Amino acid sequence: MSTAAVMSEITALQQGLHSCETCGLLSRGAGGADEARCPRCDEELEFRKKTSIQRTWAFLIAAAICYIPANLLPVLTTTTAAGSDSDTIMQGVVLLWSPTGWPLSLIVLFASIMIPSAKILALAYLLVTTRRGSVENRRQRIRMYRMVEFIGRWSMVDVFVDTFTAALVQLQPLMWVKPAAGLFFFAAVVVLTMLAVESFDPRLIWDASGAQVAQHA
Amino acid sequence: MYNEPLADLSLVACAHCDMLQRLPQLAPGESARCPRCDKELWRHRADTLNRTLALALAAAVLYTIANAVPMLGLTIVGRTASTTVIGGAVDLWNDGQQPVALLVLLTAVVAPALQIGFMLAIVLGTWRGRAGRWVGTLLRHYPATRTWSMIEVMMLGVLVAVNKIADYATVVPGVALYVLGALVFVLAAMQSSFDPREVWGKIRWAEETPHRRAAAPVAGARA
């Protein structure tokens, strides 16, 4: 591993250079043109993702709203001769807990309950600090962003657990499992938080001094 | 209107903090990181086209098998049931969960197929040294197929489901389960052997000028 040669902390934006988000090429726009394209990959160029902060907030708020029914409504309904029984995600975690099954139970607890809520809180924190033009803890905040980006997909675990449990346990009239309403909201939380992460532009963390952020956010 | 590229192609801006810097010469296997935010700027993969092609072909074979045979079976007091990956999505659809069924189909079936297919096409299209514009189009959309391809997450979900069901029925692992397990590792290896910077360096530019055609930019070359 080696470190790239530093030319003091000057950004492409300060030099008026477009850095292509698709292919990474640096290029300079002709003065007065209202749209810029990358000469290599033809991508439309912007200094920062368009309306990044607003779009991220929109996805995040939608995710937070869906988070409530996702946790309160049942995700699976099991029917046996003894009757029907509906489980929420948290009840699923409790059911999995056994002398041999507890590691899996912990995985589901982590992936389904802790990751989505931590993701929503972390993104809200990043949005607020970025909007305020905070220059504190920027390395920690960019690390937090990468963590959220990396770990977010694992929340889908519960969707797959419920899908294959329901697909497999189809032994009518002995016993069968069907997905329930909570599953839709849970899947929505996963998708919306992933979209929120994608709309956030991490470069805004480094733009600092509030003026610039307001200009390009 | 097309922008004017810089003369020096080793100049880059960090994707996570926008700081301008010059990529150093890297031997295959070496990587460069942003000194300000620690983002990996470029890892020069050794022998990227050959290795990526081999792994993408292996992934294509495994993927085809995994979707053709049952993944899980179950026996309880003489009755049996089994399911495939696609079968899981179809059952959700029939149970009134259409949006979730589409999401499962996207993340477990469609996106992985696109990820493998795009990668094969990108590598084959770059094989002769210069790549056409269509390779750039695929490479531009490749990251999205990767984001939504969740075979490894599905595998964990299947393991949990098996464990849950094993309490009251006998679960019979199908061939697809083992094949998918192998696919998780092949896909990870394919991803880490691929060097997008090298491929971008070989792609025909959108704005092709005689001067640029003569000096085909090669990744890592001194300007």
Secondary structure class of A198 (helix, strand, coil): helix
Among A11, A174, A202, beta carbon nearest to B19: A11
pLDDT of B87 above 50: yes
pLDDT > 80? residue B208? no
Averaged pLDDT for residues B16-40: 91
Structure tokens at B158: 């299947």
* Cα distances (angstroms) measured from residue B82 to each of A80, A167, B38, B66, B144: 19, 8, 47, 14, 32
Of A139, A175, A191, the CB nearest to B37: A139
Task: List, as ranges, residues 131-190 from B with C-beta within 8 Å of A.
Answer: 133, 136, 139-140, 147, 150, 153-154, 156-161, 163-165, 167-169, 171
Contacts with A, B 54-73, CB within 8 Å:
71-72
- Tell whether B13 lies on the interface with A, counting CB pairs under 8 A: yes
Cβ of residue A73 closer than 8 Å to a chain B Cβ: no
Q: What is the pLDDT of residue B211?
A: 53
User: What is the pTM for the complete model shown?
Assistant: 0.89
Q: How many Cα atoms sit within 13 Å of A6 on the Cβ side?
A: 10
Which domains are seen in chain A, by residue range? 1-47 (no CATH), 49-216 (1.20.140)
pLDDT in tens, B104-156: 999 999 999 999 999 999 999 998 888 889 999 999 999 999 999 999 999 99
What tokens appear for B71 in the block? 């993944």
Question: What is the rounded average pLDDT of the residues B66-90?
Answer: 87
For the stretch B168-180, pLDDT in tens is 788 888 999 999 9
Q: Please give the structure tokens belonging to residue A107.
A: 């995985």
Regions in chain A scoring below 70 on pLDDT: 1-8, 32-33, 209-217
Which pLDDT tens digit goes with each residue over B39-77? 999 999 999 999 999 999 999 999 999 999 999 888 877
A101 min Cα distance to partner chain B (Å):
7
Give the C-alpha separation, A41 to B2, whole Å: 10
- In the three-class reduction of DSSP (H, G, I as helix; E, B as strand; rest coil), residue A161 is classed as helix
The count of CB pairs under 8 A between chains A and B is: 268
Q: With beta carbons less than 8 A apart as the criterion, state whether A158 and A170 touch.
A: no
The pLDDT value given to residue A32? 65
Do the chains contact at A23 and B136, CB–CB below 8 Å? yes
Does residue B24 sit at the A interface (CB-CB below 8 Å)?
Answer: yes
pLDDT range class, residue B215, cuts 50, 70, 90: very low
ipTM: 0.88
